Amino acid sequence: MTSVVIPAHNEARVLGRLLSGLLDDARPDELDIVVVANGCTDETESVARAHGVRVVTTPVPSKREALRLGDRAARGFPRLYVDADVTLSTAGVRALTAPLDGSGTLLATAPERDLALADRPWAVRLYYAVWTRLPHVRAGLFGRGVIAVTEEGNDRIRSLPAVMADDLAVSLAFADDERAVVAGARAGIQTPRTFADLLRRRVRAATGIHEWEQVSGSGGPSARTTVGDLVGIVLREPWLLPAATVFVGVTVLARGRARPAIRAGDYTTWLRDDSSRATGS
């Protein structure tokens, strides 16, 4: 049995969308889905129960605490951790878990990203045109909203320190031959709907990356974008020069706005982008 753990903090608007996709083609007893409603003040718990999945509740609004409780309640492996604001099909679950059969070194998988960009502002579209081409973004498990692990992989991530950039930390915890992005699985991901929402996400990312580097040490793995990354993208696709300019501008602005939190050692203030919780595309 495959277990799916979904931490959900005030996700009533979008949780049903995810659960419907997960259950659409599932066989009886194929999926053990656990929704952990943490610190919710909306109808998240009711939405989950209406779909017939198991629900764990806690008054503590903490994703890490929710994942811990979900792990405790989950029954099987491979195990998926899924953000409530993405979409994933039953077929996607099967594609992610199929390689995790213990026959090789693979311990963790993640899906390809289907980014909703059609109606987004031009600055958001240009930013993601570059972001999706970055080598560490293409290969990493982070920023996908879904990670599947074996039991050994689960032990690996449970030993990680508590950090804001939790999905980045999980991705970097596995060597190249221990993780894979599965082309046959796709997660629908809502991108920011305004430039302000994009900036909020990037400030959070900049803060989280700095915290991770402090925790992991100077010799630890990182996911910072280098000048070489951007130059390589523009040399291969020169028409992306305007997009690269926007990308650099957003990055510089986000790092500047992240400095007060970094100086204060504030790695707990979660700058949530509620625009991803809209029910449309």
Mean pLDDT over 127-156 rounds to 95
Asked if residue 232 has pLDDT above 70, the reply is yes
Looking at the predicted structure, is the pLDDT value of residue 203 above 80?
A: yes
* pLDDT given at position 217: 67
Q: What is the pTM of this model?
A: 0.91
Which pLDDT belongs to residue 103?
84
What's the start-to-end Cα distance of the chain, in Å? 31
Q: How confident is the model at residue 265 (pLDDT cuts 50, 70, 90)?
A: confident
* CA-wise closest residue to 191 among 144, 241, 230: 144
Model confidence band, residue 168 (pLDDT cutoffs 50, 70, 90):
confident
Q: What pLDDT score does 1 carry?
A: 87
157-182: average pLDDT: 87
Residue 267 CA: distances (Å) to CA of 61, 162, 256: 15, 10, 15
pLDDT (tens digit per residue) in 87-131: 999 999 999 999 999 888 999 999 999 999 999 999 999 999 999
Q: Over the chain, what is the mean pLDDT?
A: 91
Tokens found for residue 176: 């190249």
Distance CA 110, CA 146 (A): 6
pLDDT computed for residue 273 by the predictor: 58
Cα–Cα distance list, 253 to 122, 204, 206, 241, 269 (Å): 17, 12, 10, 18, 18
Task: Give pLDDT, residue 222.
Answer: 64
Percent of the chain topping pLDDT 90? 74
Residue 264 has pLDDT above 70, yes or no: yes
The band of 279, judged by pLDDT with boundaries at 50, 70 and 90, is low
Kindly state the percentage of the chain with pLDDT values over 70: 92
